[in-house]
Amino acid sequence: QQLFDSSNKEFEDGDVLFVAHRMKLKGKVGPKFTVGGREITMSISKSGFNSWKEGKPLRNGLVFATSFMYERFMLMINDAVVAITGRNYFFPNKPKEFHQECAKYCRCAMM
């Protein structure tokens, strides 16, 4: 959880972003959002992995591929939002320099 809540410019543990598709992770993983006055933690990759069923490799492969592609699609949308607004809303506590770097990358990537 500290990855998304941190106020440090650098990531403490970016690896958690890459293993959530294939490993059970302790605690709540993902950014927090307030919806209707209620705080929720959302992770597309963790939701996909939690849908796996033991002994169902074909189903699990399909769930993995679908959730992975959906997450990539959502990241593309997020890049567009960051490029336009200059802020990465998944990391609200990060300093201004972090958001400036993200925005610069996203703007270059969209060209």
Strand ranges, E, within the chain:
32-35, 38-41
At residue 38, what are phi and psi to the nearest 5 degrees?
-115, 135
The phi-psi region of residue 101 (left if phi > 0; otherwise alpha if psi is between -120 and 50; otherwise beta) is alpha
Q: What is the pLDDT of the chain when averaged over all its residues?
A: 79
Structure tokens at 53: 């069923």
Question: Residue 56: which pLDDT band, with cuts at 50, 70 and 90?
Answer: very high
Decide: pTM greater than 0.85: no
